[in-house]
Chain A
Amino acid sequence: MKKIFFVLLCVFVAITSSFLSACGKNKEELIFYNWQDYIDPDVVDMFTEETGISVIIEPFDTNESMYIKVKNTGGYDVILPSDYMVQRMVNDGLLEKLDMSKIPNYSHIDDNFKNLYFDPANEYFVPYMWGTVGILYDSTRVYEPIDSWEALWDERYEGEIFMYNSVRDAMTAPLKMLGYSVNTLDAGELDEAAALLIEQKPLVKAYLGEPVKDKMIGGEGIMAVMYSGDAQFCQFENENLVYTIPKEGSNIFVDGLVIPKTAPNKENAMKFIDFLCRPEIAALNSEYLGYSTANRSALELIDPELMENPIFWATDEEIARCEFFEDLGDFRDDFDRVWSEVLIGN
């Protein structure tokens, strides 16, 4: 009997102490809803050291899954969505207008990333990193250098191809190959693209998200659809990997910081955003991630060798072939539907 009382006592102590620790939580906090592995952990530590605000990073894997969470639950302070998703969030009234007087370092942002179509007055969005979508391939195992999306349909690479498992990124390749816009609102064009993906299915090894980086570094496949920054990261680890933006054109994206209306710690959120806009911080982050920063002043601080790497900094000519995603409105459902068909179809 004594033993049971002892156990109960322990549990009681545990419960009360947990409540106490909950009460003692007046310490400053910030919840950052971010892509997996999309910030240098040292940068976060530096912020905490300087301001005493502890940052809890919660990862998401696609813009779409992030949107559902933010729409249905509050609690996130800073979020890092991509362009077209910012457009959707602004339209749905989910985002807070930023107080730019509290983000003085916004002045360092490259003018190319200001006044974009989804935030013409620069009210909601602070650009963070930008990049393109292309093919990363193992140069030692291809028959010839790759410059076209058609390589993903080449039967010689059967079972060696990784596709990206989010709907917009997966549809980019077939739409561009057919010469259509990635923002098509035409059901016929969409069906054609989906048919191509279904035709490609036997050649594909897997549809993955983040883990594809590990796979390519480890030589598990010959080519993969990938974001430029991730491709840069893979190249750091495995020199044989080469990135190309196919000649048919592709997608260019810019990810940035926003604050949702439901954020509990808006002041801390502004401080954090301002901190990330400091040129030296942006440079550190950019070098760590392999993504190109949208911070103009940071460019001078980045290793010049890296700046010359074509993956890290796409040429104007390459950028000219790429287009931004736009929110599709109700046509989203059609994209989701054909994408399910692709994944399910045998």
Chain B
Amino acid sequence: MRNKWISGPYLVWMALFIIIPLFLTGYYAFTDTDGAFTMAGFSRAFEPMYLSVLLNSIRIAAISTAICLLLGYPVAYILSRPEFAGKSTLFFLFAVPMWMNYLLRTYSWMSILETNGILNSLLAFLRLPKIDILYTDSAVILGMVYNFLPFMILPIHTALAKIDYSLVESAQDLGANPVTVFKRVVLPLSVPGVVSGITMVFMPAVTTFIIPSLLGGGQYMLIGNLIENQFLTAYDWNFGAALSLILMAVIILSMMIVLRVDKDNEGGTLI
């Protein structure tokens, strides 16, 4: 029972498949094609052109995260209210879409958003003007919001569901109006959920290469596309590895900021 050695296989496995690969990536990042030490990959990554890709990725991911929060918080809030709380099926409905392959769901948006697609046929039928957003920033953001919204709803809902409703009631009894109750009681108590929601949306959004490559039409290169491109098309693995390390640093940095906000996280939670 008190045998720490049974974690042996785990430690060996992680060393082999996590630590060594990261060192290999590091090796590629700091060498050139002949294996000589160089920082060229990093200095290239900070050229204005490539830096703009990183900043653009962060910008688009941030916008998507903000929209997810705006759309998701009310959903989580409504679902956690007493009149809905008993209805687990309703809550279940928000998790179900994740059970269909996300590539397919994203791809399906393409047939909806096309110039002659489903949405525009519908709009034409209603005699409304066309919307032509496929292959723009908006389509990429829509794809991200669509894919990651459940990741925002679930943790916020968990946090809100934990709130002891008698707290809300006593606040009301003490004469607080609904806005005050929300601002002073509900909102502060839901912060841990909001924080983990933000991380769970922002991290995949900043690194995805599928969503921009399907909905962005090639011209919206985000950092994920750039890395994929270096490994699979341009054949510059050293630069690709350097970009990977930079991306990792960005993620770890933002995690550290988030963990600082969310102090009661003891370095190992799920969702």
| A and B in contact, CB less than 8 Å | yes
Listed in ascending order, the chain A residues whose CB lies under 8 Å from chain B are 62, 64-65, 67-68, 159, 165, 167, 201, 204-208, 218-220, 333, 336, 340-341, 343-346
Residue of B nearest to A209 (CB): B218
Q: Is the CB of B49 within 8 A of A219?
A: no
In the complex, which of the residues B135, B217, B221 contacts A344, with contact meaning CB atoms closer than 8 Å?
A: B221
Residues of chain A lying within 8 A (CB to CB) of residue B115: 219-220
Partner of B52 from A219, A333, A336, A344 at Cβ < 8 Å: A344
A68 touches B49 (CB 8 A): no
Q: Is the CB of B49 within 8 A of A64?
A: no
Residue in B135, B217, B226, B233 with the greatest tally of chain A CB atoms within 10 Å: B233
Across-interface contacts of A62 in B (CB, < 8 A) = 233
23 contacts between A and B (CB under 8 A): A64-B233, A64-B235, A159-B132, A165-B218, A167-B233, A201-B219, A204-B219, A205-B217, A206-B135, A206-B219, A207-B219, A208-B218, A219-B116, A220-B115, A336-B236, A340-B49, A340-B221, A343-B218, A344-B52, A344-B53, A344-B221, A344-B226, A346-B52
Q: How far is the CB of A36 from chain B (nearest CB, A)?
A: 15
Q: Which of B116, B218, B229, B232 contacts A218 (CB 8 A)?
A: B116
In the bound complex, residues from chain B placing their C-beta under 8 Å from that of A341 are 49
Q: How far is the CB of B15 from chain A (nearest CB, A)?
A: 24
- In angstroms, Cα B234 to Cα A229, docked, is 26
| Bound: A167/B132 CA distance, A | 27
Residues of A within 8 A of B114 (CB): 218, 220
Q: How many residues of B contact A (CB 8 A)?
A: 21
CB distance from B63 to the nearest CB of A (A): 16
Q: Measured between alpha carbons, how far is A205 from B113 in the docked complex, in Å? A: 13
Chain B residues 210-264 with CB under 8 Å of chain A are: 217-219, 221, 226, 229, 231-236
* A68 close to B235 (CB less than 8 A): yes
Contact B233 A345, beta carbon cutoff 8 Å = no
Known contacts: A218-B114, A220-B114, A344-B52. The answer to whether A68 contacts B232 by CB under 8 A is: yes
Complex interface: chain A residues within 8 A of B234 (CB)? 64, 336, 340
CB-CB under 8 A from A208, the residues of chain B are 217-218
Contact flag A65-B49 (CB < 8 Å), given A165-B218, A218-B116, A344-B221: no
Which A residue sits closest to B49, measured CB to CB? A344
**Distance in Å: Cβ of B118 to nearest Cβ of chain A:** 12
Task: Output the residue of A64, A167, A201 with the most chain B CB within 10 A.
Answer: A64
Q: Which one of A64, A204, A340, A345 has the highest number of Cβ atoms from chain B below 10 Å of its Cβ?
A: A340
Max count, chain A CB within 10 A of own CB: residue among B50, B114, B218: B218
Q: How far is the CB of B32 from chain A (nearest CB, A)?
A: 12
Query: How far is it, in angstroms, between the C-alpha of A346 and the C-alpha of B48 when the chains are bound?
Result: 12
The chain B residue sitting closest to A342, CB to CB, is B219
Give the chain A neighbours of B50 by CB distance below 8 A. Answer: 344
In the complex, the 10 A-B pairs of residues with the closest C-beta atoms, listed nearest first: A206-B217, A207-B218, A206-B135, A336-B234, A165-B218, A64-B233, A65-B232, A344-B221, A68-B235, A65-B233
